[in-house]
Amino acid sequence: MKILIVGSGGREHTLAWKAAQSERVTEVILAPGNIGIAAEPKCRLVDISSDDIARLRRFALDEKVDLTIVGPEAPLVGGLTDAFAQAGLRVFGPSQKASQLEGSKAFTKRLLKKYDIPSGDFQVFDDYDEASAYLKSITGPIVVKADGLAAGKGVYVCKDRNESLAALDAIMKQRAFGDAGDVVVVEECLVGEEASFIAFTDGKTVVPLAGSQDHKPAYDNDEGPNTGGMGAYSPAPVITPEMHERIMNRIMIPVVQAMEEEGAPYLGFLYAGLMIADGVPKVLEFNVRMGDPEAQPLLFRMNSDMIPFMTAAVDGTLAGMEIEWAPEHSVCVVMASGGYPGSYEKGKVITGLGEASAMEGVKVFHAGTGHGPDGIVTNGGRVLGVTAKAPGIAQAIDQVYKAVEKISWEKCHYRKDIGKKALNRD
Ligand code: AMP
Ligand code: GLY
């Protein structure tokens, strides 16, 4: 099989690395990929942007690609799956209509309410004055979100009225996220422990992956601005076997059924971002794709071949399939450019990559790297996802940080407490 993977980050490196291990796969082509992926067996890059659906389709037809896997949300929300399907190409990913689950927070909140799937209370506004009057009428913490895609930055968790009005201003008046802020969703501020629950689905059957936990804030102890994710680990002890059942029965299966009833059957990775408190999981958001950096620890400990799950999802034959997991724990630490998620410099020479990669149970996934005159250099905010696997969570943490400490560049930044939440309860 010839596989095309759309995207260029750490998630895509992990998907490519995993796909290439499949005996069924002869070649993995990344559009546009990154230099870390180019060095993997069976993998090559093609210089087509992940948003250029017309060129991607032409390429997939010319190359006779057997299966396309879409990493990021933007091409899915942009209709890649529909465009490919019209040309008879097979894609593991939801249609444009089904991608509203991530593309419109108002759509999702209304769907959850209609089908009685647990989530926080909310209001939707398309008028600034009405939203502002509402925010002035409430006291205490509240969450203000741009309705549309905002590259993970359209969410403001506000502790008081000043902050919520400033958030509304940024979204609707300054139009920080363009059209994505034409509508705002104001949500009850949920408290508890966050977890990521990701599954393969063919629109009827839900095959869950193991639980995982991301670390969104930039600094230790969950302080600082939100990022795309600074590290993740799997399994997540907050998702006990009972909690796993509850999430499947109250959230994952009902939402897949709801999408079918709404005439938007859902196929692909389905990612629920959850807040768990007092044994109750509530939905914060859905993503219509694999998580980044959750992909790194999850796929690093997935023993099963990933490709049969994807082809079965496309064929509607997932029923009865189950994933085999390595018993080990895995942890990924994201190494970022100093300044991220704000502005940062690129082109810093990275040292120690070879030494870290040679360590037992360690894999260095690339996210934002490039070639410079003096070797591999930084080329993005999130630069590397250093990932380790070990029999216990404490050992995995120990091993991953040993690897991280071998790697450096000027103004490199990473969190020192990835996995600590799992450790504290062991
Ligand atoms: P999202 O992109 O919707 O996942 O939001 C990003 C982050 O904002 C989440 O991972 C949470 O940490 C936080 N967040 C989003 N919605 C809420 C909410 N209703 N209550 C509390 N925190 C939230
Ligand atoms: N790790 C969060 C995300 O992929 O959205």
Residue 378 pLDDT > 70: yes
Radius of gyration of the CA atoms of the chain, in A:
21
- Asked whether residue 351 falls in the same domain as residue 412, the answer is yes
* pLDDT(151) > 90: no
Distance 359 CA to ligand 1 centre (A): 35
Q: What is the pLDDT of residues 102-127, one digit of tens each?
A: 999 999 999 999 999 999 999 999 99
Assigned domain for 237 exists: yes
- Select from 265, 280, 315 the last residue of a domain: 315
Q: Is residue 61 located within the same domain as residue 45?
A: yes
Residue 315 CB contacts under 8 Å (≥ 6 apart), including other chains: 202
Does 341 share its domain with 396? yes
Query: Quick check: 423 pLDDT over 90?
Result: no
Lowest mean pLDDT among 152-156, 227-231, 393-397, 403-407: 152-156
CA angle at residue 27 from 26 to 30, to 5 degrees?
Answer: 160
- Residue 276 zone, left/alpha/beta (φ > 0; ψ -120 to 50; rest): beta
Q: How confident is the model at residue 424 (pLDDT cuts 50, 70, 90)?
A: confident
How many Å apart are CA 249 and CA 376, to the nearest integer? 46
Residue 106 maps to a domain: no
Domain boundary among 290, 315, 340: 315
Distance (Å, rounded) from C-alpha 273 to C-alpha 282?
Answer: 9
Number of domains in the chain: 4
Could you tell me if the CB of 157 is within 6 A of ligand 1?
Answer: yes
- Domain with residue 215: its CATH number is 3.30.470.20
What separation in Å is there between the alpha carbon of 356 and the centre of ligand 1?
33
pLDDT of residue 111: 98
43-45 and 27-32 beta bridge pairing: parallel
Has residue 98 been placed in a domain? no
Give residue 299's pLDDT.
98
Give ligand 2 pocket residues (Cβ under 6 A). Answer: 152, 214, 229, 287, 291-294
Residues 307 and 202 in one domain: yes
Q: Are residues 55 and 147 in the same domain?
A: no
Looking at the domain assignment, is residue 52 inside a domain?
A: yes
Q: The domain containing residue 398 runs over which residues?
A: 329-421
Amino acid found at 149:
L
Establish whether residue 193 lines the binding site of ligand 1, counting it when its CB lies within 6 angstroms of any ligand atom.
no
Atom 4 in ligand 2: which residue has the minimum CA distance? 291
In the numeric block, the tokens 């768990």 are attached to: 276
Pair 160, 206 in one domain: no
Q: Report the separation in Å between the CA atom of 284 and the middle of ligand 1, taken as the mean of its atom positions.
A: 6
Q: Which two tokens stand for residue 229?
A: 């994710």
- Same domain (yes/no): 176, 137: yes
CA of 294, closest atom in ligand 2: 1
Same domain for 197 and 184, yes or no, is no
Nearest bound ligand to CA 271? 2
Asked if residue 321 is part of any domain, the answer here is no
- Amino acid letter, 301: R
233 and 276 fall within a common domain: yes
- Cβ atoms of 155 and 171 within 8 Å: the answer is no
Residue 102 covered by a domain: no
Boundary residue ending a domain (172, 188, 204): 188
d(CA 344, CA 316): 44
Report residue 397 as tokens: 């943490």
CATH code (residue 153) = 3.30.1490.20
Q: Percent of the chain beyond pLDDT 90?
A: 97
307 and 337 part of one domain: no
The CATH number of the domain holding residue 398 is: 3.90.600.10
Q: What is the mean pLDDT of residues 382-410?
A: 98
pLDDT number for residue 225: 87
DSSP secondary-structure letter at 336?
A: E
Condensed to tens digits (0 to 9), the pLDDT of residues 20-71 reads 999 999 999 999 999 999 999 999 999 999 999 999 999 999 999 999 999 9
In a shared domain, residues 264 and 304: yes
Give strand pairing partners of 193.
276
Predicted confidence at residue 97, as pLDDT, reads: 98
212 and 303 share a domain? yes
CATH number at residue 48: 3.40.50.20
Q: Is 341 inside any structural domain?
A: yes
Query: Does some domain include residue 206?
Result: yes
Q: What is the mean pLDDT of residues 224-236?
A: 94
